[in-house]
Each structure stands twice: as C-alpha cells, then as structure tokens.
Structure 1
Amino acid sequence: MKSLKNHISLIVALFTVLFAVQIYVAVDRTIKAYETRLKNDYSIIVVANKTLSPDEFKAMDSIIDRSEPIATDQVLQRLQGEMSKKNLELLKLTLPKFYRIYLSRFPTPEEISKLQKRLQKNSSIQRVEGYAQTHDTVYKLMLLFKDVVQIFSIAIAAVTSLLILKEMRLWQFQHAERMSIMALFGAPVWLRSAVLFRLAIVDAIIATIVVCIAFFVIEENGWMDLLLNTVGITIDLFDFLQDGIRSLIIALSVSIILTMTIVIGNDEEE
C-alpha cells in the first residue's frame, strides 16, 4: 500500500509538470492564432498624392504583404447634388489617393513605428495612420499574459521536481537492502539502480497517458472551444501525436535525470 502511495505521488507530480507545460504550449498557440487573426484584420491607412502600385509599397518595407486602394466613389456620389459635374471631375483629380496596407505578420509596436517612418520618407505619401495606441495596448496585454503563464509554469515545474526527488529518495531507502546486497557481489551502479529507473520510466508513461486523457476530456467537453470562439480563434489544445510524444519525452527526461541525480549522489557518498 505504501509502495502504491509512492507511485501515485510520483505520477501526480509528473502529471503536474506535464500539465503546466501543456498549458503554456496551449497559451502560446492561442496567442499565435490571435496574432494571425489580428494580422489579417490589422491594416495601416496611407494617404498619397499619386497612384502607387502594390509593388511600390512592398519595395518600401519587407513586412508589407499587400495593399489595396480605398475607393472614394461613395464620397463623390454624396456630393453629386451639391456640386457641378465639372467641379466633381476636378475634385476627383485633386483628391488624394487612399490605401489600406496589410502586413505579412503581426508587428511589434517598434516595427509599426519604423514602418511609419519609412513610408513617410516617400515624397508621394502625405500621411500614415497605424493606430499605434490601440495596437500597443492589445499587444502588451498578450505578452503580459504569456509571460505570467510562463513564470507560473516554471515555478510549478521547479517545486514539483523537488517533490519528485523526495519520492525517489524514498524509493531508494525502500530498496537499499537489495542494492547493498548487489553491491557486495560487485554489481555496477546502473545495475543496482535498475529497479529505480524501471519504476521511474513506468510512472512517466502512466503520467503521460493521464495527461492525454485529461486533455481529451477537456476537448470533448467543448467549453474551451466556446471561450476561444468568442474571440474568433480555433486551435487544438492538445495534439495527441505531437503533444503526446513531447509529454512522454519530458516525463522520461525528468524521471531519468532526477533518478540519475539520486543514484550518482548516493554512489559518491559511498
């Protein structure tokens, strides 16, 4: 019963580490998906005194993906009853050209500032509006949320690793007599500690399976999808191939490295 309790303790500890890592991965995916959505929706308005082609805009900065002219026909139609046809034609010729510029990726506030300066260096461009204040607020909130989750995940991983070390020391004490007998017969350290490595590997596999089941339940429940859909985002919280393999590698790495730490430390004491 005591051995089972130790197994459960290690499985729960490894599960906590894997769950924290996966939460960070899911948050990172969410932010990237939101960045893509913002990139598609975000645009810069440019006012020019002459017609500019998409290639001319792209030559100004590599971050520019495409440009499209903003039609002024609606404005002119509203003035048809108030101005003569001749004056309308004259106004159409003198009216500035308006363009909407889309970017190839979601820019940082610094990139927006640099882009505005490069555009304004062109003599044909009269004004550039990048809505930097709104953009800065959204972008900084996203980065703050990601940093908080990262710090939280690292803290959980560090504390949980100490708990795993404690559990493995208990395993070592439980198998101390067997390991001592094997040492008397000249068994090498890795062979004496084989039981510890075997237990660590088995618990790592079990913890990975439990994480997969947990995220499967979350996916099937659908409440996270509803939350993400409210901001127009659809992502896979858990990819059972990619994330499952990553979780298994992390669990095995943590278990084996911490077991080696215990074994090497005990061997040096002897």
Structure 2
Amino acid sequence: MSQSIQPDKQTLLFDLDDTLIHCNKYFDIVIHEYLKLMSRWFDDYRVEQQDILAIQSRFDLEGVSVNGFVSTHFPQSLVKCYTFLCEQTGRVYSQADYEILWKLGLSVYEMEVEPYPGMLDTLNRLRDEGYNMYLYTGGETLIQQRKIDQMKLSVYFDDRIFIRQHKTTDALSSILDQLKTNPLQTWMIGNSLRTDVIPALTNGINAVYLKQNNEWAYNLVDVDVEPKGAFYTIDRLTAVPDVIQQWNTKRNDDVI
C-alpha cells in the first residue's frame, strides 16, 4: 500500500488582492469619482461616460502590461485619458485638472483595506491543519506591505512573503525554484487567470481560481494550459480547504 498524502507536506501560495483582501472595489470608487469629474469637464463636447471609461481602461491595461503593478500606472491612465480627450475635442488642457486627477488616482492606495469574507476562518483552518502557507502578491513593496501589516497577515505567513512588480510565469518559476516543493503538492490560490492560474498551470502546480463577479479586465484571459494536477474554480474563499481536501482524498484513493 502506498503512503497516503499528508496535508502537512503541501505548500499553498496565496495571492493577496481580491483573494484575501478587497482591492478592485477601491479602484471602482475612484473611477466613479473620475467619471463624474470628466463628465462635467467634457459635457459641452458630448463625450459619453462609457467612452471615457473605455479610453481610460485602454491606457490602464497598456500601462500594467508594460510596467507591471507599479503605483503610478493607475493615475497615469486617468491623466492620459484626460490629455487624449483634450486633444481630440479641443478642450483647453489645464495643469490644475491634471494634478487633481493624479491625486485622485493615487488616493486608491491610501484607503483602508478590508478582508474578504471568511479570510480568517480559512487561514486559521489551513494553518491548524498543517499546510505550509506563503503569500505571493504583485505590486510595490511599501504599498503591499502596508496592506499585509494592516491585516496582520504575518501571523499566518511570517516572512514567507513574495512581492513582485511583475507576476508572470517566470516570476512564479523563480519562487518555486527557491521553495523546491513537489509540484503536485503545491497550490496557487488567486483571482487572476492571467497572473495566478496560467503561471501555476504552466509551472505544473495545482491552481484554485477564486472567481469574482466584478473582475478587472486585465485578469480575464483564456486558459489554454492543460493541468498536470488539480484546477478548481470556486466563488468563495472559504471553499479553499474543502477543494484541497477533496483533491487529497482523490489522490489517496488513486494510489491505494
């Protein structure tokens, strides 16, 4: 009889933003304020809100694709959209307007973050069941560390935290090389198909996709990688321990 698979030999890498804590909702708040401002400024030029949003989103996606998760890419998308519309409509460009929009864009990083429902229950259960847990998040160190400290996540991850400006297949591969774990006993849990799921499956590890109702367009891509192990889609964080346990039970049954 083969030895059963024990959870204490398994490694879990958790994404942070919109997996353990809220993130997109704060950007939505700023975008709402942005559209109100821009609609007022460009009302005489008959620019519709949906057009403003489409242009801003285009600049946003272009920025993060080139520069990664730097704090300036979001305010840059706001001011680039403003500048573009001034050029297109003939509205007089204002440096004061520019500075208002830049400050508005940066304000998203100053908001107090909130945990996702069930964050503490999920992390407590996984810790108590003996899993090796790591945090792997994208962004600037100071901003991400502030969130980690505010949520007191070092209680669960200690110094087992990776912060990368670019969350790519290569970035995850480098982390996995450091950890030297068994791929089939290693999991990536996150809300992004682009930066969590595809890099995980490409590196041959298990993936849990936490699907969100209102996801950032950057994260939504087709998954064209064949899983070598597990690939689950869930809609609530508290389901993470159950799907991992389900997979462990299945593998134990297969090797007996």
Which protein shows a greater Rg? 1
What TM-score do the two structures reach when normalised by structure 2? 0.31
- When you count helix as a share of all residues, which structure comes out higher? 1
Q: More relative contact order in 1 or in 2 (CA 8 Å, sep 6+)?
A: 1
What TM-score do the two structures reach when normalised by structure 1? 0.30
